[in-house]
Amino acid sequence: MKYNKITLLLFGFLFIAYTSQAQWKIPEKAKKSKNPHESSDTHISSGKKIYASNCKSCHGDPGKANALLPTATDVGSADYLKMKDGSIYYQITEGMGAMPSFKKSLSDEERWSLVSYIRSLANKEAVEEGGDENMLDKLSLKFEFDKASNSVKASVTDKSGSPYSKAGVPVAFLVKRYFGQMKIGEIETNESGLATLKLVDIKTDEKGNIELSIKINDRDKYGDVKLTQEITIGEHRHFKNILEERALWGSRANIPWWMLFLYVGITGGVWVAIVYVILQIKKVKKLGTQINT
């Protein structure tokens, strides 16, 4: 019986969570507002970045239905994209329930960029459906490190091995770190299929190596194209082991020199004084016996 009640309650919560999504009250006026910016590539890509840092932690990847917060809508779903630009803008601006308002943390332009990006997802879907299936898996990647310029040159080639001449393939550069892959840059290829990234202040392991992965960051268009390789980009590093330091917080073996000398000095001084006093007393006694005789 008790479990039944709990499941009932759970279903109740789920129902509320479900219906709360449908209860967005968007004023008619807000629905009609239009995106003041034209949907340009720069807007879409900046919207994409804003999405990654502000929205992804709850909504997940658009179109993949992998929202991290169960109640968060998948903004890439066809249902969601039926909404008008104005409504999406209003939702981002005002927020509701678990979704916070972004009125203060994102500027007006940034919010519209987000709308542009979300809207672009709809177009992408259309392209995907009617798109060229043969495009997939056609490209391959290669990269080399140039020590003189301290940069990584990635080249995109098609199946025949000649450079991919269509510019604008986004190539992401990732470095392996202890808890995950760190993105250090994303460069679009030029006409000769090259994307060059200058490495600025990338920390290596002890031997001066990094594990670099490059991948084409447009899965829908080009499929999964990825290459991982370990390259040497720097000198041998020595990691400072704080346990080798002489410090007060360390163990007895790592006592600071000044403290060792101070301690030995004071203790030795006290002993010397005691011995001196004893010797003096002995002298007094000796003198006393001399006088008596």
- Residue 31 binds another protein (CB under 8 A): no
Q: How far apart are CA 74 and CA 59, in angstroms?
A: 6
Query: How far apart (Å, rounded) are the C-alpha atoms in residues 245 and 249?
Result: 10
Query: Does 260 help bind another protein (rule: CB under 8 A)?
Result: no
> With binding defined as CB under 8 A, does residue 179 bind another protein?
yes
Q: Which of the residues 61 through 90 are near another protein (CB under 8 A)?
A: 68-69
Verify binding: residue 56, another protein, rule CB under 8 A: yes
Q: How far is the CB of 245 from another protein (least distance, A)?
A: 9
Record the tokens describing residue 274, joined without a space.
């005691």
Q: How far is the CB of 236 from another protein (least distance, A)?
A: 12
**Closest CB to another protein among 60 and 193?**
60
**Under rule CB under 8 A, residue 257 binds another protein:** no
User: If binding is defined by CB under 8 A, does position 247 make contact with another protein?
Assistant: yes
Shortest approach of another protein to residue 250 CB, angstroms?
A: 8
In whole angstroms, give the CA distance from residue 106 to residue 39: 18
Residue among 116, 111, 123 at smallest CA distance from 38: 116
Q: Is 115 left (phi over 0), alpha (psi -120 to 50) or beta?
A: alpha
Give the residue with the Cβ less far from another protein, 175 or 197: 175
Q: What is the DSSP letter of 131?
A: S
d(CA 161, CA 153): 16
Residue 250 in the binding site for another protein (CB under 8 A): yes
Structure tokens at 210: 């990094």
Among 1, 22, 126, 253, interactor with another protein by CB under 8 A: 253
Of the candidates 79, 147, 178, 257, which one interacts with another protein according to CB under 8 A? 178
- Among the listed residues 105, 149, 165, 229, the single contact to another protein using CB under 8 A: 105
- For every residue of 18-53, DSSP letters joined together read HHHHHT----HHHHH---SS---HHHHHHHHHHHHH
Q: Does 243 bind another protein (CB under 8 A)?
A: yes
Residue 272 near another protein by CB under 8 A: no
